[in-house]
Amino acid sequence: MTNAPTALVTGATAGLGCAVARALADQGMHVLVHGRDADRAAAVVDQIRKSGGSAQPYLADLSSLAETRALADRISVDHEAIHLLVNNAGVGAGRPPFRRRKLSADGHELRFAVNYLAPVLLARTLAPVLAKDGPARIVNVGSVGQAPVDFDDLRMDAHYTGMQAYFRSKFALAAFTFDFAEELAGTGITVNCLHPASLMNTHMVREALVPPMSSVASGVKAVLNLATGPDGADHTGRYFDGTHQARAHEGTYHPATRARLRDLTAEILSPFMS
């Protein structure tokens, strides 16, 4: 296909993901544009190609663990190696009053499924392809909004709000980042998590009826700092607020919390990891 380094960007058909995909193509990467809608994915690929870049579309609904695994398998077959995974796709808090709960195709709370389980499954399944051709990076797009996971009520059957579900999924993603970085030590793969910018002007923010505070461009700058900049090469297992190292929720660093989350996640994902 191409000799350029290859990057997979999930949720690349709109908002931050689309802007990141275009920026990576501008830097000479071959971009795998993930989305759920064929027309929208094709439009982003067309934009990149018209600007002189290289890209191709990949479709999958990340609320389905089977489709997520199938996406990873297709990429592993199509590409001998990839060099960057940007786990950007996500479901926001929804519309006020944030009370409408949805479950994924597998019966998990939707935000936990898309914002956490899918990135974990992609990262673990694609790790061999990431490690195949020299240094590689995983960038997990998180949030400064984080709240501890209730292990006794993962589906949030009690006291549900979309905002709290979103915060819990981003807590879990940060904790996974730190765990996976330790697991991949010595492989040449760095794994970092970031809050790209506060309340960017995206559909996710507008849907919550919150006035945007930041531009998408500021979020792109932060993602690129870890995706192609020196911080993403020099550091692993870190959390960034924008382009600066920061502390995630203190609970994400607790060994017992991370161990319980790791074991629970492994149990959920085991049917899709063989």
Residue where the block lists tokens 């209730």: 150
Alpha helices by DSSP H, listed for 135-184, are: 162-183
Peptide bond connecting 97 to the previous residue in cis, omega within 30 degrees of 0: yes
DSSP 115: I
Name the β-bridge partners of 240.
194, 245
CB atoms closer than 10 angstroms to residue 187: 15
Q: Which of 58, 116, 160, 166 is catalytic?
A: 166
Q: What single-letter amino acid sits at 112? A: F
* Main-chain phi, psi angles of 241, to 5 degrees: -105, 105
Instruction: Enumerate residues 6+ apart whose C-beta is below 8 A from 162.
Output: 92, 93, 94, 98, 99, 100, 101, 111
| Cβ contact 137:227 at 8 Å | yes
166 carries an active-site annotation: yes
- Biggest alpha carbon–alpha carbon distance for the chain: 51
Report how far residue 257's alpha carbon sits from residue 136's, in angstroms, rounded to the nearest whole number. 28
Catalytic residues: 166
